A and B are shown apart, each in its own frame.
Chain A
Amino acid sequence: MLSWEYILQQLFNGVVVGAMYALLALGMTVIYGILRLIHFAHGALITVGAFCSYLCFMKLGVPFIATIFIVIAFGAFTGIILDVVAYKKVVGGPEVTLLITSLGFYIFIENFMKLVVSPQPYPFHPPEFLTKIYSNGITFRAIDIFTIVVSIAIMVAFQMFIKKTKMGKAMIATAENAEAARMVGINTNRIISIAFIVASAIAAITGFMWGAKYGQISYDMGFIAGVNAFVAIVIGGVGSIPGAMVGGFVLGMLSMFSVAFLPPGFAAFRDGIVFFILIIILIVKPSGIFGQKAAI
């Protein structure tokens, strides 16, 4: 029953799902770092990205590569809207104001999608070459490899951006101390905008992968994904960018393993198990894997 192949297969599935969580958590943690905001609306962006790619690729017949770029651009554009319309207006108030606004945007986007696309789920067919099935010990589709490769590429690129470019360093400085960053001449408003644009673009492309992986998209797909991404952040350590990525992978594997290795009756509780993990982390090690103790 518990053969090595089965375990490897689950490990692989966990990595694929984890890669998507890691991408979402990456964007969320950047925004959390700068604004101290649990960005609920982040989850809605994967819905936007998924439906955007559905529209472009499946309805309008745009070539695959162009679709990817359109999705990224559209995600970035949504990020700009979020930033300009909402957060710029409310920033500086109590932290909870931001949180409520973000919640409002989540509900707004979700119900806007519901209005536009109808509440039924849509089948999502990725391009031919991504659906090819390989079976060689473990079974996987090309989309799984695509997800892992693209995710790791994005993460490496992001890490380079943070470490090597002036803009990235300014972002770190703003996250550490916004006031001091302003004092040394960093335009923190611009940094916030950049953070929203980058995070939203990443979330939108994750939406494509999510749809391709599960073969189905619906207006409320972003809810659990977004909340899980925050759990991933807590696992990795709030405020740590490598932590968010590692947390994403850990969460992906934990949720896969909990379905694969627990008795079948537990499968219905898959979403619940994630929060069980959250509570346990908050009891045992609230600072997460990479977090600093001072966060408590």
Chain B
Amino acid sequence: MFHLEKNRTLLAVIALVVLFFGLWVAKATLSKYVVYIITLIGVYIVASVSLNLTNGYTGLFSLGHAGFMAVGAYTASLLTFPVKLRTIFALSPLPTILGGAEFQWPFLPAVLMGGLAASVLALVVGIPVLRLRGHYLAVASLGLMIVITALAINLRDITRGSIGINSIPKYTNIWWSYAWALVTTYVIWRIVNSSFGRAMKAIREDETAAQIQGINLLKYKLLSFAIGAFFAGIAGGLYAHHTGAIRPYAFSFNLTFQIVIMVVIGGQGTISGPAVGALILTALRYILKPVEESMQIYGLIELIYASLLILIMMFKPEGIMGRRASRART
């Protein structure tokens, strides 16, 4: 007989093979600049898929994703920063607890630490804010992002202030980026198809009804927020080791907005939507960039993003990959 489950696994394996073969071909044939953009898309997929857990599946509205990315980026790059260059760049050596002055962290644990730091922060902020109903989180997480940017600018001894950190080793390649994109998608997929995910969706649809069913609202909201933040931290770490330089202003409201718009345009509460959104919008940005620069009209890309967002909200609020029925609610 026809086994759907087995079939699905097979399909997934085939899709994986095709994806990685495609990436390999892309890496071998395309120019460095295009590969750079493709890798960046992978990083954005990590960020948007994880934001989708918070915003799409749990129905919270976090605007702090750029802040968590900043935490992840700074944590990871301070850990992996080459020992030799530290004095030249006026960065203090690592404290003993993190390995001491002569220690340089390998890439993977450093990125994981970045994610961990972001999720701990999410827990600290989430506990007071997520107890409440309504969209307090939107403003509080936005505030958190502003606080993080202010800290990154002012803690000059650690972050070098507004100059930012450069000469970060460029560990992130196309494989790291897409491996993380896959891991993120898989983890989020497993979560939303488990009892955890069903509880989160129940909270999205009706908080009171979910509470009556015995769902601990705070617990699931916090989990969703912290897991989202964890992968945002990972995305930040990948981003830092991809571009090789980070500045506080890179993690501003514009970045948060970009990721939100990827999720919304792709389809909130769908597995493939955010990835599709990340792909389309990042590609669009790099197609429009020469236009913006040659015509000297800065802000054009954001303007187009915002128009797209408004149009999507007006005509297809469930996003490109979303189905209308799944979000039917008054």
CB of B146 within 8 A of CB of A275, answer yes
Most buried by A among B299, B303, B327: B299
CB of B253 within 8 A of CB of A223, answer yes
Binds A, one of B42-50, B148-156, B186-194, B276-284: B148-156
Interface string of B42-82 (1 = CB under 8 A from A): 00000000000001000101010000000000000000000
Q: In the assembled complex, how far is the CB of residue A277 from the closest CB belonging to chain B, in whole angstroms? A: 9
CB of A282 within 8 A of CB of B140, answer yes
Interface string of A22-40 (1 = CB under 8 A from B): 0000000000000010100
Question: B138 near A: Cβ within 8 Å?
Answer: yes
Which of A90, A114, A275 is the one whose CB lies under 8 Å from B140?
A275
Q: In the assembled complex, how far is the CB of residue A166 from the closest CB belonging to chain B, in whole angstroms? A: 29
Binds A, one of B15-23, B101-109, B309-317: B309-317
Q: In the assembled complex, how far is the CB of residue B113 from the closest CB belonging to chain A, in whole angstroms? A: 24
Main secondary structure of the interface of A (DSSP, over half): helix
**A194 proximity list for chain B (CB < 8 A):** none
**B317 proximity list for chain A (CB < 8 A):** 90, 93-94, 97
Question: A57 near B: Cβ within 8 Å?
Answer: no
Q: Which of A110-154 contact B (CB under 8 A)?
A: 110-112, 114-115, 119
Q: Which of B300-327 contact A (CB under 8 A)?
A: 300, 302-303, 305-307, 309-310, 313-314, 317, 327
Q: In the assembled complex, how far is the CB of residue B160 from the closest CB belonging to chain A, in whole angstroms? A: 15
Q: In the assembled complex, how far is the CB of residue B294 from the closest CB belonging to chain A, in whole angstroms? A: 15
Question: A283 near B: Cβ within 8 Å?
Answer: yes
Q: In the assembled complex, how far is the CB of residue A94 from the closest CB belonging to chain B, in whole angstroms? A: 6
Q: Which of A210-251 contact B (CB under 8 A)?
A: 223-224, 227, 230-231, 234, 238
**A36 proximity list for chain B (CB < 8 A):** 134
Distance A103 CA – B310 CA, assembled complex (angstroms): 9
CB of B306 within 8 A of CB of A268, answer no
CB of A38 within 8 A of CB of B135, answer yes
**A167 proximity list for chain B (CB < 8 A):** none
Known: A94-B329, A272-B147, A279-B140. A103 touches B257 (CB 8 A): yes
CB of B300 within 8 A of CB of A269, answer no
Which of B139, B151, B261, B307 is the one whose CB lies under 8 Å from A278?
B139
Question: A184 near B: Cβ within 8 Å?
Answer: no
**A265 proximity list for chain B (CB < 8 A):** 154
Interface residues on A, range: 35 or more
**A86 proximity list for chain B (CB < 8 A):** 310, 313-314
**Smallest Cβ-Cβ distance to B300: which chain A residue:** A115
Question: A66 near B: Cβ within 8 Å?
Answer: no
Q: In the assembled complex, how far is the CB of residue B150 from the closest CB belonging to chain A, in whole angstroms? A: 4
**B117 proximity list for chain A (CB < 8 A):** none
**A115 proximity list for chain B (CB < 8 A):** 297-300, 303
Known: A96-B59, A104-B306, A268-B153. A286 touches B132 (CB 8 A): yes
Q: In the assembled complex, how far is the CB of residue B295 from the closest CB belonging to chain A, in whole angstroms? A: 10
CB of A100 within 8 A of CB of B143, answer no
Distance A101 CA – B306 CA, assembled complex (angstroms): 9
**B297 proximity list for chain A (CB < 8 A):** 115
Known: A94-B329, A227-B142. A234 touches B307 (CB 8 A): no
Question: A65 near B: Cβ within 8 Å?
Answer: no
CB of A283 within 8 A of CB of B128, answer yes
Most buried by A among B128, B131, B297: B128
CB of A108 within 8 A of CB of B132, answer no
CB of B310 within 8 A of CB of A101, answer yes
Known: A107-B305, A271-B146. A227 touches B139 (CB 8 A): yes
Question: B7 near A: Cβ within 8 Å?
Answer: no
Question: B144 near A: Cβ within 8 Å?
Answer: yes
**Smallest Cβ-Cβ distance to A114: which chain B residue:** B299
Question: B136 near A: Cβ within 8 Å?
Answer: yes
CB of A89 within 8 A of CB of B314, answer yes
Question: A95 near B: Cβ within 8 Å?
Answer: yes
Question: A99 near B: Cβ within 8 Å?
Answer: yes
**Smallest Cβ-Cβ distance to B135: which chain A residue:** A38
CB of B298 within 8 A of CB of A119, answer yes
Q: In the assembled complex, how far is the CB of residue A25 from the closest CB belonging to chain B, in whole angstroms? A: 12
Question: A1 near B: Cβ within 8 Å?
Answer: no
Q: Which of A34-60 contact B (CB under 8 A)?
A: 36, 38
Question: A105 near B: Cβ within 8 Å?
Answer: yes
Question: B125 near A: Cβ within 8 Å?
Answer: yes
Q: In the assembled complex, how far is the CB of residue B78 from the closest CB belonging to chain A, in whole angstroms? A: 21
CB of B138 within 8 A of CB of A99, answer yes
Question: A262 near B: Cβ within 8 Å?
Answer: no
Closest 5 CB pairs of A and B: A275-B143, A114-B299, A108-B306, A104-B309, A111-B299
Q: List 10 A-B contacts (CB under 8 A).
A: A86-B314, A93-B317, A103-B257, A112-B299, A114-B298, A115-B303, A269-B150, A275-B140, A278-B139, A282-B129
Contacts A90-B314, A100-B313, A104-B306 given; 17 further ones with Cβ under 8 A? Answer: A36-B134, A90-B317, A96-B61, A100-B260, A104-B313, A105-B306, A107-B305, A107-B306, A111-B300, A114-B299, A115-B303, A227-B146, A268-B150, A269-B151, A272-B147, A282-B136, A286-B136
